[in-house]
Amino acid sequence: MTKDFWQEEIETMPRKQLEQLQVERLKKTVEIAMNSPFYGPMFKERGITPESIKSVEDIRRFPFTTKQDLRDNYPFGLASVPLEKVVRLHSSSGTTGKPTVILHTKKDIEQWADAMARSMYCIGLRSTDVIQNTSGYGMFTGGLGIQYAAERLGALTVPAGAGNSLRHLKFIQDFGTTALHCIPSYATRLATVLNENGVDPRETKIHTLIIGAEPHSEAQRKRIEEIWGAKAYNNFGMSEMCGPGVAIECKEQNGMHIWEDNYIVEIVDPQTLEPVKEGELGELVLTTLNREAMPLFRYRTRDLTRILPGDCPCGRTHKRLARFQGRSDDMMIVKGVNIYPIQIEKVIMEYPELTSDYLITLDTIGDNDEMTLEVELVQLVDDYAYLQNLNKELSRRIKDEILITPRIKFVPKGSIPQSEGKAVRVKDNRQNH
């Protein structure tokens, strides 16, 4: 019989035992985080000590942690270990505001690689596979996160990175790639490039796609599976939790198992912050149980999802998250990059020739997701060269900030429709979003 689990004991652990493991790890995590300038005083004030943790329910004694807390304590205010133990950091985009920074010790990197290797094993990838990664290396966790995991699995890895689709095509053919990690929108874009170059994606050796990092529908997954003639599995990762490797669908393709030996999972009402009823939609809140450089307690992910009821036929006992249904904030994900309208707004404010009104429109053009930014000129100008220069400069400046290239459209002052109260800044016309 073939072995179906990477770590069978943990993956199929009876719930009671799993909760006991969570309690032990929560105690340990509290002990580590007492050293953090952010959590230390807070724990003292609330009487939170390792000894005071008796059950998983004790998590409700902790306050929530938000992205704003990370920004306010930029860059190292949430470090729970001396910096000499930290071996890597990942950071969000942005140069005007304060980005977020996530720290990792050697052990954090190992446990992250292990969790993602477990996820890969869960969808049938083995050391015999050739895994090609289309995520950006560098600050994106989808680069190195997938890389370390695929190496841990023992697969042959092709760290091709983002962009340059023709090179991806060449590697797929020359190296006999069997599995691809990509965001869903790039899966369709890359398939088009293959087709345009006379290669049917179904004729390649690719049998599995790991897709994640942006919302997508069941219909989009089916379309991806159809065009690639391969299985596509939804994968959830988040830099604050480590990166990819937090939750993944098993072969049942019915919800993503969230690895509960590594996280305590809560679903709360984003307004009241009270837990929702079992199985109801709410905001995902996570507590890390196996991280030391920068543990996070009750972190508000802002992702809206629910826990699927019942047991999974695959035998894994870890809860399953439903496909994400949006966010409780205004973050958008374009081409696999997280973007907040405020980042764009701040750049616009640097230009006295522009008003503060703007409109972001997201469209799928061909197979590409594109952002168009309409901005108002304070005064009408008919100097074409001047406008072209301004357009180029603004586009470059915004790319520095959000990492993707917007198309800029100048419009006369007063032409961007105003809505009552908070202006509607984003129109998302993308397919499957």
x/- track of binding to ligand AMP for residues 365-404 (CB under 6 A): ----------------------------------------
x/- track of binding to ligand AMP for residues 322-361 (CB under 6 A): --x--x-----x----x-----------------------
Q: Which residue has the tokens 């998983």?
A: 56
Contact flag: residue 303 with ligand AMP (CB under 6 A): yes
Contact flag: residue 18 with Zn ion (CB under 5 A): no
Instruction: Choose which of 144, 146, 289, 312 interacts with Zn ion (CB under 5 A).
Output: 312
Q: Which residues bind ligand COA (CB under 6 A)?
A: 134-136, 140, 142, 162-165, 183, 186, 189, 213, 335-337, 403-405
Question: Judged by CB, which is closer to ligand COA: 145, or 295?
Answer: 145
Q: Which two tokens stand for residue 308?
A: 């699927």
Q: Minimum CB separation from ligand AMP for residue 28, in Å?
A: 25
Q: Are 176 and 205 in contact (CB under 8 A)?
A: yes
DSSP-assigned beta bridge partners for residue 131: 157, 179
The entry of ligand COA, ligand AMP, Zn ion, none near residue 153 (CB within 5 to 8 angstroms by kind) is none
Rg (CA), the chain: 23
Residue nearest ligand COA, CB atom distance: 142
Q: Minimum CB separation from ligand COA for residue 415, in Å?
A: 25
Q: Minimum CB separation from ligand COA for residue 67, in Å?
A: 17
Instruction: Choose which of 94, 237, 282, 406 interacts with ligand AMP (CB under 6 A).
Output: 237
Instruction: Choose which of 235, 287, 290, 355 interacts with ligand AMP (CB under 6 A).
Output: 235
Residues 235-264 that bind Zn ion (CB under 5 A): 250, 252
Q: Minimum CB separation from ligand AMP for residue 354, in Å?
A: 29
Instruction: Choose which of 25, 181, 291, 316 interacts with Zn ion (CB under 5 A).
Output: 316
For residue 122, give the nearest of 153, 81, 147 by alpha carbon. Answer: 153
The entry of ligand COA, Zn ion, ligand AMP, none near residue 235 (CB within 5 to 8 angstroms by kind) is ligand AMP
Q: Minimum CB separation from ligand COA for residue 373, in Å?
A: 12
Contact flag: residue 214 with ligand AMP (CB under 6 A): yes
x/- track of binding to ligand AMP for residues 133-162 (CB under 6 A): --------x---------------------
User: Measured between alpha carbons, how far apart are the two ends of the chain, in Å?
Assistant: 41
Q: Are 288 and 295 in contact (CB under 8 A)?
A: yes
The entry of Zn ion, ligand AMP, ligand COA, none near residue 250 (CB within 5 to 8 angstroms by kind) is Zn ion
Size of the site for ligand AMP (CB under 6 A): 17
Residues 6+ apart with CB under 8 A from 318: 11, 18, 257, 258, 259, 260, 261
Question: Judged by CB, which is closer to ligand COA: 134, or 178?
Answer: 134
Question: Judged by CB, which is closer to ligand COA: 163, or 414?
Answer: 163
Residue type, 227: I
From edge to edge, which strands make up the β-sheet containing 320-321?
A: 156-158, 130-133, 179-182, 208-212, 231-238, 243-249, 256-258, 320-321, 307-308
The entry of ligand COA, Zn ion, ligand AMP, none near residue 239 (CB within 5 to 8 angstroms by kind) is ligand AMP
Contact flag: residue 201 with ligand AMP (CB under 6 A): no
The entry of ligand COA, ligand AMP, Zn ion, none near residue 314 (CB within 5 to 8 angstroms by kind) is Zn ion
Instruction: Choose which of 6, 43, 121, 236 interacts with ligand AMP (CB under 6 A).
Output: 236
Contact flag: residue 314 with Zn ion (CB under 5 A): yes
Q: What are the backbone dihedrals phi and psi of residue 139, each rounded to the nearest 5 degrees, phi first?
A: -70, -25
DSSP-assigned beta bridge partners for residue 237: 244
Torsion angle (degrees, nearest 10) of CA 220, 222, 225, 229: -140
The entry of ligand AMP, Zn ion, ligand COA, none near residue 189 (CB within 5 to 8 angstroms by kind) is ligand COA
**Residues interacting with ligand AMP, by CB under 6 A?**
141, 212-215, 234-239, 301, 303, 324, 327, 333, 338
